[in-house]
Amino acid sequence: MTGASDIQLAALISLGEQRATELRNLIRDVPGFPHDPIIFRDITPLLANGTAFQDVIEAFASAAKDLKVDVVAGMEARGFILGAALAIRLGVGVIPLRKAGKLPPPVIRVDYGLEYGSAAMELTAGTLPVGSNVLIVDDVLATGGTALAAVELVERSGGNVSALLFLMELIGLGGAERLDGYRTETLLRVT
Domains parsed from the chain with CATH numbers: 7-190 (3.40.50.2020)
Q: Has 28 been annotated as catalytic?
A: no
CA distance 71 to 73: 7
Whether the per-residue pLDDT at 125 is higher than 70: the answer is yes
Whether the per-residue pLDDT at 5 is higher than 70: the answer is no
If pLDDT is split at 50, 70 and 90, which confidence band does 130 have?
A: very high
CA distance 63 to 68: 12
Of the chain, the end-to-end C-alpha distance in Å amounts to 16
- Percent of the chain at pLDDT > 90 equals 79
**Catalytic option among 22, 58, 76, 78:** 78
In this prediction, residue 191 carries a pLDDT of 78
Whether the per-residue pLDDT at 4 is higher than 70: the answer is no
In this prediction, residue 2 carries a pLDDT of 42
The predicted-structure confidence for 16-31, as pLDDT tens digits, reads as follows 889 988 999 999 999 9
Whether the per-residue pLDDT at 89 is higher than 50: the answer is yes
Give the mean model confidence (pLDDT) for residues 165-184. 94
In this prediction, residue 3 carries a pLDDT of 44
The predicted-structure confidence for 106-121, as pLDDT tens digits, reads as follows 999 999 987 678 999 9
The predicted-structure confidence for 50-79, as pLDDT tens digits, reads as follows 999 999 999 999 999 999 999 999 999 999
Q: Has 189 been annotated as catalytic?
A: no
CA distance 109 to 191: 32
Whether the per-residue pLDDT at 42 is higher than 90: the answer is yes
Q: Closest Cα partner for 60 from 153, 174, 188?
A: 188
